[in-house]
Structure 1
Amino acid sequence: MENRLGKGEVATARNWVDRAIAAIEADQRRSADTHLWKLDVPALSGIDLYLKDESTHPTGSLKHRLARSLFLYALCNGNIREGTAVVEASSGSTAVSEAYFARMIGIPFFAVMPRSTSPEKIAAIEHYGGLCHFIDDGKRIYAESAELAARLSGHFMDQFTHAERATDWRGNNNIAESIFQQLASERHLIPSWVVMSAGTGGTTATIGRYIRYKRHATRLSVADVERSAFFEGFSTRKLGCRCDRPSRIEGIGRPRVEPSFVPGVIDTMLRVPDAVSLAAMRVLSRRLGRRVGGSTGTNFAAMCFHAARMARAGEAGSLVTLICDSGDRYSNSYYDGAWLEANELDPAPFEPAIEAFLQGAGLDLDLAECHG
């Protein structure tokens, strides 16, 4: 009788996991793929710039893909079962997206974050039923997340460790496969460069691995920000590098080289000053007629850097980067003069150079660069 009861309990648990996975996959099927915009820049003859718009996901950012992959990975590994509390170390887009999926399958979600987190971010997480767990010492965010998960007998999702392994980099509708499929009818169907910034490192790992798996000639360039350990870790090959100050460009840059960061798939890294990121953000927002966020500005500045080098060399080809999220989330930061002044950031001096490049001039941006 005990054995039959045990089997029944196992079957019931598996049934719940089956329903949870089915719900997440059904949500994905209801969502169209994100658009790949071709930026109209007539001055760049022979060079095409593309922007994959990840802001159109249901939760409004690139992190929607990551959260979906993390939930499927945890469900299939047996880490999430009916009633399991999920905990994440995040105060931004990842927490918003994970709260969305937790609510979808009916389990509690806790986001561990600094007490100084903005009300807008807290409201976005709570909108999807997430609970915010505040800490005073931001350096303890990983430890506190693990401790909270243990107290709740829950699961610490740990995006910074599991991002690179949760996504099937060989295909299965990942972002890399999507980019190359969408370029299939373009004049430069294999891009010269895919350019993007790193937060967890998971998306760069997925794209870099896919490029190698498919044997494409595409090169991957990863742009890092000022207050981040990634660029130093890549350039020195010392993955224990640290940065004491938090990144001012939300969603990218980290105080440590995260476990999901895979330097071996990266061809080159750039360090983009924060003021340049915000200048590029402004220029691109005007070009698109809508606001984008700071991380998208980092991406766009790096893409312009590589496009300018191609133009000087007389090369033709295409470059792809990401619109990570909408600028509407940053009305009280990047688009607020008082916030810029308080953070000693002035993007205005760099805007004319980027605008002039898009009009056909050379690009005078001195970015630190390191090759893999």
Structure 2
Amino acid sequence: MVTLQRSNRNWLRRALQILDADQMRSGETNLLRLDMPALPGIAVYFKDESTHPTGSLKHRLARSLFTYGLCNGWIGPGTTVIESSSGSTAVSEAYFAHLLGLKFVAVMPRTTSPEKIAAIRLYGGDCHFVDDPTTVYEVSATLARELHGHYMDQFTFAERATDWRRANIAEAMFAQLANEEHRIPRWIVCSAGTGGTATTVGRHIRYKSYETRLCLADPEASVFHRHCVDPKVTSVKGASLIEGIGRPRVEPSFLPQEIDLVVPVEDAASVAAARVLSRHLGKSCGGSTGTNFWAVVKLAREMHAAGESGSIVTLLCDSGERYRSTYYDDAWVRDHGLDLAPYEAELESCFAHASVAPANRQAVAAE
């Protein structure tokens, strides 16, 4: 019989206390309402995840992944934690590694925004860059073996580490809508990186027997929306410019059966939507939030055209301040061949005091 050293038990107890303390300090994020005068009767809400200590939705995931790793015995005193990420998860995991006194290495595409790289390093994390984003998984696993560390693997464990029954983002959304006119939303719109958040929301909707439907807003270059329509499609070539969402392969944490509708979104539409939303919401929003907003507007227009009223909830995933050198830089936009003008004009029409016809863009019903 092998007995775990008391010092390790004490360290684990203290580590979990540190994570609990962070959750108590962080509290719950705000639910912001956006009114679009051209679409009366439809209330749009944004769960503002940018207010987490590490500035994004991934703060929740990182805390859950560390808790999961600690309780599974995968992380202990002196463990080096490795993660494959396009930036935001790595920022949050670097933060928690710093709180626990652990080394952290982020394996990420070389094209990751400088602002995210700086944030990882602020918390003492190291960055290991790859030129081919599809190699992040293999490189992360190799580094974990070489460093005798733990590969966190958010793409596999995101849906397992989060409790979808209670104390999750979906439960918080419904609780915050309790006193609103339309307290049960017609739609919740999520984009997917790992797929973990969409899976959590979808499971919670089923668990509570809500009539709410779940829409996946997915970059056009991503595999997720294709896989929802044709399960035989499990990978694609190419990559989206929208960091943090969309993947070239179907990740283990993504469960397509939770999705009711998919809306593919062009990169230019995502960037334009982030800019327009930032102007009207009064908060700077990142590209993935723009992707969400584009899908929200499509759904809102379809509801309006059908004479329906109700609410739509989506996520403000992170702040646009992380993308000042990319999505909010006109030179970067030109260099990447993005024409934002037609998309911005289409979105701005939602804020005029006139009726707007449904957008001439198609969503694909998930099978």
Q: What does residue 314 of structure 1 align with?
A: 307
- Of the three residues 195, 200, 207, the one matched with 1:201 is 195
Pick from 36, 44, 47 the counterpart of residue 41 of structure 1. Answer: 36
Select the residue among 178, 189, 202 that pairs with 1:184.
178
Deviations 1:162-212 (A, max 9, x none): 0111100001x2100000000011111110000111111000000000000
Match of 1:273 in 2: 266
Cα distance, 1:49–1:118 mapped onto 2, change above 3 Å: closer
CA distance in 1, matches of 2:310, 2:297: 13
Aligned pairs for 1:96-135 within 5 A: 96-135=91-130
Structure 1 residue runs without a partner (length 5+): none
Q: Rate the CA distance shift 1:42–1:136 in 2: closer, same or farther, 3 A.
A: closer
- Which residue in 1 is equivalent to 2:151? 156
- CA-CA distance at 1:231 after TM superposition: 1.0
Distance in 1, Cα, partners of 2:25 & 2:251: 32
Are residues 296 and 29 of structure 1, via their aligned partners in 2, closer, same or farther at CA, if it must alter by over 3 Å? same
The aligned counterpart of 2:19 is 24
Q: Is the contact made by 1:91 and 1:122 (CA closer than 8 Å) also made in structure 2?
A: no
Q: 1:362 corresponds to which residue?
A: 357
Give the distance between the partners of 1:13 and 1:365, measured in 2 at CA: 60
1:285 pairs with one of 269, 278, 282: 278
Give the counterpart letter for 2:211 in structure 1. A
Kindly state the Cα deviation for residue 136 of structure 1 after the two structures are TM-superposed: 4.0
| Count of residues in Structure 1 that have an aligned counterpart in Structure 2 | 365
User: Aligned in 2, Cα 1:257/1:133: closer, same or farther, shift over 3 Å?
Assistant: same
Instruction: Please list, as runs of the form range in 1=range in 2, the aligned pairs for 1:21-100 lying within 5 A after superposition.
Output: 21-100=16-95
CA 1:36–1:117 in 2, change beyond 3 Å: closer, same or farther?
closer
Is the contact between residue 270 and residue 288 of structure 2 (CA under 8 Å) also seen in structure 1? yes
Say whether 1:221 aligns with 2:205.
no
Letter in 2 for 1:285: S
Match of 1:248 in 2: 241
SS at match of 2:210: coil
Larger deviation, residues 362-371 vs 277-286: 362-371
Counterpart position of 2:319 = 326
**SS of residue matched to 1:60:** coil
Assess if the C-alpha contact under 8 Å between 2:305 and 2:358 holds in 1.
no
Match of 1:349 in 2: 342
Gaps (5+ residues) in structure 2? Answer: none
Following the alignment from structure 1 to structure 2, what is the Cα–Cα distance between the partners of residues 191 and 65? 22
* Aligned twin of 1:212: 206
Decide whether the 8 Å contact of 1:100 with 1:128 is kept in 2: yes
1:303 equivalenced with 2:291 (yes/no): no
Instruction: Quickly say closer, same or farther: Cα 1:298–1:129, change in 2 above 3 A.
Output: same
CA spacing shift, 1:365–1:252, aligned 2, 3 Å = farther
Identify if the C-alpha distance between structure 1 residues 257 and 81 changes in structure 2 by more than 3 Å, giving closer, same or farther: same
Give the deviation of 1:116 after TM superposition: 4.5
CA distance, structure 1, for counterparts of residue 134 and residue 211 of structure 2: 40
Indicate the residue corresponding to 1:261 in structure 2.
254
**Structure 1 residue 131: Cα displacement:** 1.1
Moved more, 284-293 or 22-31: 284-293
The Cα of 1:278 is off from its aligned counterpart by 1.6
Following superposition, the deviation at residue 94 of structure 1 comes to: 0.5
CA distance in 1, matches of 2:171, 2:40: 27
- 8 A contact 2:115–2:323 mirrored in 1: no
Deviations 1:107-132 (A, max 9, x none): 11111123444433321101011111
Cα RMSD for the two superposed structures: 1.5
Which one of the candidate residues 227, 230, 235 is aligned to 2:224? 230
TM-score by length of structure 1 reads 0.95
- Identical-residue share of aligned pairs (%): 58
What is the letter of the counterpart of residue 155 of structure 1? H
Higher mean C-alpha displacement, 333-342 vs 213-222: 333-342
- Identify which range, 145-154 or 201-210, moves more after superposition: 145-154
Contact 1:272 1:368 survives alignment (8 Å): no
Corresponding residue SS for 1:133: strand
